[in-house]
Structure 1
Amino acid sequence: MSSSSSWILGLDLREGAEGPLVFARWLQAELDKTGDASLVPVHVIEQDQLGLLASADKREQAVSLAEDAVASTLQRAGDETPLTDLQLVDAGTPEDVLASKARAASGLIIGRLAPRGKDQLLRLGGVARRLLRKLTAPTLVVPPDLRAADVGKGPIILACDAQEDSLGAARFALELADELRRELILAHVVPMPYGWSVGYLPAESVKQVRADLRTRGERTLERWATQHGITGLRGVVTEGIVPEELGRLAAQEKALMIVSGSRKLNAVERLFVTSVGSELAASAVCPVAVVPPDYGS
C-alpha cells in the first residue's frame, strides 16, 4: 500500500446496513491526512430485482429507484455528502462484479448480515462468504450497524497463526498501521484442545496445561516474527478457541480492526477445517480484514 490508495465499497442499500459506508468514509478521510485515498462505491442491481419491475424500461426505473435509495442511505448514515464516482451496475452478480473491480484496488469494503452482538443463524451472508472465497484483494468486512462513534480508538490487531499464510496479512497490517498511525498488536492464539477444560479435570492440571501452551505459543510467535523481520510490536499470546479469543482481545483493546490471513480453502476443505478469517468476519465487534496469502509478495 502506498500513500496513494484506492478502495472499492460494496454499497448495501438496505436499512440498517450503513456500517460499511460509514467506515469507508472514515477510512478515506484518515488516509487522506497522510496521502491520497480514493473511494469507489459500487451497487449491483440484481436481475431478480429487475424482474419485479413493471415498466417497459426496467433498467431506467431500477437506476432511478437505486439513486433514491442511495440518498436515503446517506441520510441514515448521518452524512449526506454526495458519493463521487458512484457506480450502479445492472449486469452480473454482486460477488463477480465486486471481485473484478477489487483486483486493481488497495482493498474491498463490504458488510455482513449480523449486527454486533447478535448471534443469529445467518451472520456473514452469501455475498460476503463468496467474496471471501474469491479474495481477489484484501477484503474488509464491516458490521452493518457500525456508526462513526463506534470506530475503535485502539490498535490494529494482526491475527497470526505463525504460518506462511499470515505473511500477506502481516504486510497489509504493517502498511495500514503506518498510514493510520495506529499501534499494531501481533496476536497469536494457541488452540486449546477440546475437552481439556471440562469440569471434572483437576484445576491445577488444566492451569499448567494452559501455561505450557502459552509458553510454547510465545516461542513460536517470537521465532516467526524474527524470521520475517517483524520487530518492535507488542505481542499477545493466549490459548483457547481462536475466533473467540481474538474477538475478546479486540473488544478489550477497543481495536480499530482485526487483520487475518487466509488459507483460501476450497469447498471440500471447508467441510473439515474452520476458516478463522470468515469466523472473525462474521462475528467480531469491529471490522475484519481478510488478506490473500500472497499480498505484497
Structure 2
Amino acid sequence: MDRFDAMQAFARVVEAGSFTKAAETLHMSKTTVTQLVQQLEARLRVKLLNRTTRKVNVTADGAIYYERVIKLLADMDDAETSLSGASLLPKGRLRVDVPSPLASLILIPALPEFHRRYPDIQIDMGVSDRIVDIIDENVDCVVRGGELLDQSLIARRVGDLELGVFAAPGYLAREGMPMHPGELEDSHHRVVGFLWARTGKPVPYAMRNQSESLHIKGQYILAVDDGNAYLSAGLAGLGVLWLPKYMSRAHEVRGELVALFEDWQLQPMPLYVAYPPNRHISQKLRVFIDWIAEVMAQNGAGPNIANPRSESVN
C-alpha cells in the first residue's frame, strides 16, 4: 500500500462523501479507492468511515484522522516546493472555475504571461456562471462576482467591477431612448434578465443620483444564466443591459452599445476568489490568486478596500 495514495484517497472520500465521486476526481477506479481506504483502516486498526448503500459518513476516529491527514498532505506539498529553488517555480495542476466573460475577455488573454512565470503549473479551467460545489467537484478555487453567500468558504476580494447600463442602437431606434431609469419599469421598454445562480431569478439593480435612489428590475422577454449569452442578447436588441465596463468597452467603441443614464451611479460588483476553509493554500494556488488580483488591477478593476488580502465570506 502506498500510504500517500491511501491518505489522499481517504481525504477525498471524506470531502466528496462518496467513493464514486472521490474516484472520479482522483482519476482512479472506485475499486482502487475502496481498496486503499480498506488497507488504511487495516493498517490503523480503526474504522474511519461508515458506509451505507446511499452515502459515506466519517466516524469520530475518522474525523480526527482526517484533520491530521490534510495537514500532513499540505506539509508534504510545501516540502516539495521548498527544494532546489522550487519555491520560486511552483508546479502541479490547478482546478478552477471562472465566469465565462471574465475568462474570455480578461483572464485567458493574460494567461501567456502567467505561464511564462510559472511554466510548470497546469490549469484545468471550468468556464461557467453556474454554482460549483467546490468539495464534491474537487475544485481548488472559484472566481465569482457579487456577494458570496456560502459562509463555509474563505474568500479573497480581488476586484471591484464598475457597472453601467447599455442598449444596442437597434433597440433604441425601435423603442426610443429612456431618459430616466424608472422608464424601464411598467413601460414598453424591456431589459435582458440575468438569472443569478444562487437564486435562479433576476435581481433588482441599485441606482442613485444626487436626489434619487432606485432599485430597477424591469420587464424581460428573455432571461439567461450565462454572461456571454446575456451580452449577445443585448447586442441583438432584446433589451437593456447592466454590464461590467470590461464587457461593454469594445462594443461602445465600435458603436454596438450605447451607454444610458450616465449621470446615475451603480454600486460596483465585488469579485472574489473563494476556496474551502480546510483546503491547504498551496503555493501554486497562492500565486494564481495573486496573479488574478494583479490582472484585475491592470484592467482598472482592483478592489476598493483597504486590505484586500483575505476575507471571510459574508
Question: Which structure is higher in strand share?
Answer: 2
* TM-score, structure 1 as length reference: 0.28
* TM-score, structure 2 as length reference: 0.27
